[in-house]
Chains A and B, each alone.
Chain A
Amino acid sequence: MAHNSEHNEPRSPPIASPAAVTMTPAEPLPLQVTTLVKRFAQVTAVDGISLSLHRGECLGLLGPNGAGKSTLIRSIVGRVIPDSGQVAVFGSPAASPAARAALGWVPQELAIYPRLTARENLHAFGSYYGLSGKSLDEAIAWCLNWAALDDRATELTRNLSGGMKRRLNMAAGLIHQPRLVLMDEPTVGVDPQSRNRIFEMIEALREKGATIIYTTHYMEEAERLCDRIAIVDHGRIIALGTHQALVQDAFASSSQVLARFDGPPDTLAAWVASQSGRLVDATAEFTIEHPTQIAALLESASAAGLQLVDVSLRRPNLESVFLKLTGRELRD
């Protein structure tokens, strides 16, 4: 389905325009989370997280499933009561009427009514936020346009494609024109084409100066969409910064060598360990400070009786950062 760029032109922008992004000194931050802790029985889902978000910023929460991202989001929304710590949304406590009005939440689940049409869904959620009359009609029109669902507005939601349902799920979170948008893995379960459409929707929002928190376990999404990225693992933020800063902090000027060899598996494993590398899916990975180190590495492999199949050099990415920080794959 081709995307019409006109869909990104809102009739009634729900998000503050870029001109209004400049923050006055007295205005509180869109989000301030202070040493938040939430336990479920024996499991500490959020373990002392603190973070703040600036107006117009898109912060990515990157981490594997079960890292505590959704619990953090639900604490901000007010659906989870933390054991300790505070959440302030534009200075108001989580779950307060002011915080509820300011927040737009796009949950991971398809939290829409399957037996209602797309328009009826938006009408329902708009009315839950107190919208009515012309302002509700305008908000519905904007959301349908933003989600490129104008021509499917009267279709029953259960009959929409998976990607369309995802987009409607997002639109329902923005119907009341929130000042802070929380998106919890909005691309879960969608095909690449639909994912691209969703990226375009989010980029359109960003162009309008939206303040967004975006959780994902796909590093490509975080790299593409977010100004800053918080890497979350076991309920903690283990690194926070821009993409470049995170890589720089973890690897400085290092690069990664990826090489595949023919040879006995035991021999390969022993040699990789001796060179302080690691094996991932039969590919040997090494971190080197300078590209000239590659030659010495390959000579050593040859001396160990391993035959090189192919080799490549790459700059470390967020996946590498996560691996270095936690010793685990991002998608474990």
Chain B
Amino acid sequence: MTFLPIARTSLMGLRRDRASLALSFILPIAFFSIFAVIFGSRHDTVARISVILVDQDQSTASRQLVAALDREGSLRVETKPEAKKNAPAPADYTAVTAEAAVKAGDVSVALIIPHGWGANPISFRPDQANAGPTLELLNDASDTIAPQMVSGLLQKAAMTAMPVTMAEQGMKYTGQYIGGLTPDQQKHMEANLALLRQLQARQAADAANPATEPGAGGSGFGGLIAVKERSVVGENKNNPMISFYAAAIGVMFLLFTASGSAGALLDEAESGTLDRVLSSRISITGLLAGKLLFNTVLAFTQLVVMFLWAWAVFKLDFFSHIPGFIVMGLCSAVAVASFGLLLASLCHTRAQLGAVSTIVILTMSSIGGSMFPRYLMPPNIQKAGLFTINAWAIDGFTKVFWRDQPISALWPQVSVLLGVAVVLFLIARRIARRWEYA
């Protein structure tokens, strides 16, 4: 039984090490709760997909379709941009502004109902020249879920929301294909069935060959309403998620590195080195600024290495985006460096810092989109994510690498990250007064 004293000593040590206790018990519960909220099955927390609807047709059928989609609980239909406070009501989306919104990342999907679609909304033969205008589904290729979901709901809406249209179209097609069952009609129907069989065979062949153009057919043949899908963002990208994960994972580890290196402050305080440094010409502000500079350079270097690796191994188009990368990299780096200083100034020991930083960073990373894309999360969690450095950094890098947006488009992310850096630094400076004098 010689092992019992060892176990007892370890238990006593754990009881006195509150940081380890917190990590052992509170951390799993905290993360279980966060993930339960994000992916839980509560009805009111399910993420709704935002879709922009542009009804150019304004026919009875198109209005019925819009109304039916609007009633769908899993969709949030937008026909115009959100009104800003003290500003005139914005105009409805047009095909051009809807496409711009998808490109800007405001939504993942936009549905354009073209002029004349209502005259011939149902299509058994989408390849027919006279089938009329086709619905157009604009999407962001980085979101593979939303377009499929919208397509499916579109077919459901057509089946349930347009019974009159369906009946009329059914009669029309019945008359067209089998009316009177004259020899000619019989022949016509057989020809069409043959064509349908050919299309079905072609679809099967397409499914077996993944190299087929992804945006060419979409769900057009699969439903009663023909839809032409078009990726307006990322159609020429090698791998849509590489830039996302390079930024997402990069920022998360930046946070860990920053808190770790800022923790050197605690070591210096404990060893008395900090006291000695502060007895020289260095002030506490100068000391923190020096640490901030070091941590910023370290974090930026980390990002450079991360993105170079993504370029070398995963074909990320790094060198075409250098200016945007530098802007976002530096802003993200200085924000996480400030964050690390704040954590270090808040904590009194390395053990405390380890526990607190693990909890805070993993929480920020999970709701800020470092572990999975924020658009998959419920709206409330998405909004909560805006309180994290991760979300703003990832959004900025996505704008640069995925949406190819100019540096000027980064102003919200740059402003927020620099603002966060300044505010956190000032708070850290305030808390660090405990090191200043006794």
Contacts and interface: CB of A to CB of B under 8 A. Distances in A.
Interface string A57-79: 00000000000000000100111
Contact of B277 (A101, A103, A128): A128
Contacts of B273: 111-113
Interface in B251-291: 271-273, 275-282
B280 A128 contact: yes
A129 B275 contact: no
Contacts of B281: 97, 100-101, 128-130
Contact of A78 (B271, B272, B279, B282): B279
Interface in A80-129: 80-81, 97, 100-101, 103, 105, 107-114, 125, 128-129
Contacts of A108: 272
A103 B272 CA distance: 17
Interface residues of B, number: 13
Contact of A105 (B276, B282, B437): B276
Nearest to A105: B279
Interface SS of chain A: helix, strand, loop or mixed? Answer: loop
Nearest to A45: B438
Contacts of A172: 276
Nearest to B273: A111
A78 B272 CA distance: 14
B264 to A, nearest CB: 9
A97 B281 CA distance: 7
Contacts, number: 53
Contacts of B272: 107-111
How many chain A residues sit at the interface, stated as a range, is 20 to 34
A108 B275 CA distance: 11
Contacts of A100: 279-281
B282 A128 contact: yes
A282 B279 CA distance: 47
- Which of A101, A105, A112, A128 has the most chain B CB within a 10 Å cutoff? A128
A111 B280 contact: no
Nearest to A175: B280
Nearest to A182: B279
Given A97-B281, A103-B279, A128-B281, A109 B437 contact: no
A80 B103 CA distance: 59
Q: Give the 3 A-B CB pairs with smallest separation, nearest first.
A: A109-B272, A128-B280, A111-B272
Interface of A: 40, 74, 77-81, 97, 100-101, 103, 105, 107-114, 125, 128-130, 172-173, 176
7 contacts: A79-B275, A109-B272, A110-B271, A111-B271, A114-B271, A125-B277, A176-B280
Given A78-B437, A125-B277, 5 more contacts: A81-B438, A97-B281, A111-B272, A111-B275, A125-B276
